Structure 1
Amino acid sequence: MFTIAWNQHELQAASVPDVERILDELHEEFANDEPQLVTVQSEETGDSLAIGIGRDRSVLNYVSGSKDPPYFTSTGELDVDEPIAFRFGGEWSEFPIRSSVPSLVARQAMRHFCITGKLSPDIQWEQD
C-alpha cells in the first residue's frame, strides 16, 4: 500500500499499477498548469520518494521512514546555471537543473522504488 500526496491532497494506492495510473493522471493534470512535487510513501517502511510531475524533466528526492538523514536527490547529466521548479505544499521549490533527469527515467526509478523499496541504481544520487 502506498500513500500519494501533493499540495494538501492525499490518495491511497493498493499496488504499483495503481501508483503508476495516479501519477499518469497527475502528469496530465499538471502538464498544462503548475508542475508539482508528488510524494509516494511506502506504508510498509514509511520511506518516501518525491517526484516532479508535469514537466519533461523531473527531480527525485528520497527521505527514509525515520525522517532522519541522509536524504538523497537525483543527479542528472545537465550542468547549466538555471533552476527547475515544482510546487510543493503550495509553494514553488527550485532545484538546480543538474538534479533533474528525463521524466521517463524518473518514472522508471519510481517504479523500482515501489517494487523493491530501494533507490534505482540507474540514477546517480547525491546526499543532501
Structure 2
Amino acid sequence: MQELQAASIPDVERILDELHENFVSEDPQLVTVESNETGDSLAIGLGRDRSVLNYVSSSKDPPYFTSTGELEVDEPIAFRFGGEWSEFPMRNSVPSSVARQAMMHLCITGRLSSVIQWEQD
C-alpha cells in the first residue's frame, strides 16, 4: 500500500484528484486520509461518480461512522481496499463531489461534515 504525504490542503486536493483519475481507468479504490494532528482518518472511495466515506477515530476503537446517502437500491457499490474488493450498500454512497467536500471539511476543521448524514457502524 502506497503512502503519500500532503503538506497542505491544496496538496490533499491535488493528490485525491490524481488518484481519482487513475482509478477511473483502473479499479475504483478506497483511500484513507489520516490527520497528522489528530490521528483520525477518513476513507473515501475514488474512481466512481459516487463515493462512500468511512471515519475512524485515532483510538481505532468504535464508534465508526459511514456516510449515508439518498439512494435506496438493492445493488452494492464496491471499491478495492488493501487489494480486496469491499462492497457497501448503495444507501451509503454519496455523489463524489459531496464526498470530496466532506473530506476537505475534515482536513480543515478536524470534524465530520454536517453536509453528510452519518450512521454509526
Q: Which runs of 5+ in 2 are unaligned?
A: none
Q: Does 1:96 align with 2:89?
A: yes
Deviation by residue 1:79-115 (Cα, 9 ceiling, x = unmatched): 0101000000000000000000000000000000000
Q: Which of 49, 58, 78 is equivalent to 1:56?
A: 49
Matched, 1:114 2:107: yes
Displacement, 1:118?
0.5
TM-score normalised over the length of structure 1: 0.94
Aligned-residue sequence identity (percent) comes to 83
CA distance in structure 2 between the aligned counterparts of 1:82 and 1:18, rounded to whole angstroms: 34
- Letter of the 2:27 partner, please give it: E
Counterparts of 1:123 and 1:28 in 2: how far apart (Å)?
23
Q: Structure 1 or 2: larger strand share?
A: 1
Equivalent residue for 1:10, pick from 3, 14, 17: 3
The CA deviation at 1:41 is 0.1
Number of residue pairs matched by the alignment: 121
**Corresponding residue SS for 2:111:** coil
Determine the C-alpha separation between the residues in 1 that align with 2:25 and 2:69. Answer: 24
- Which consecutive segments of 4 or more residues in structure 1 shift more than 3 A? none
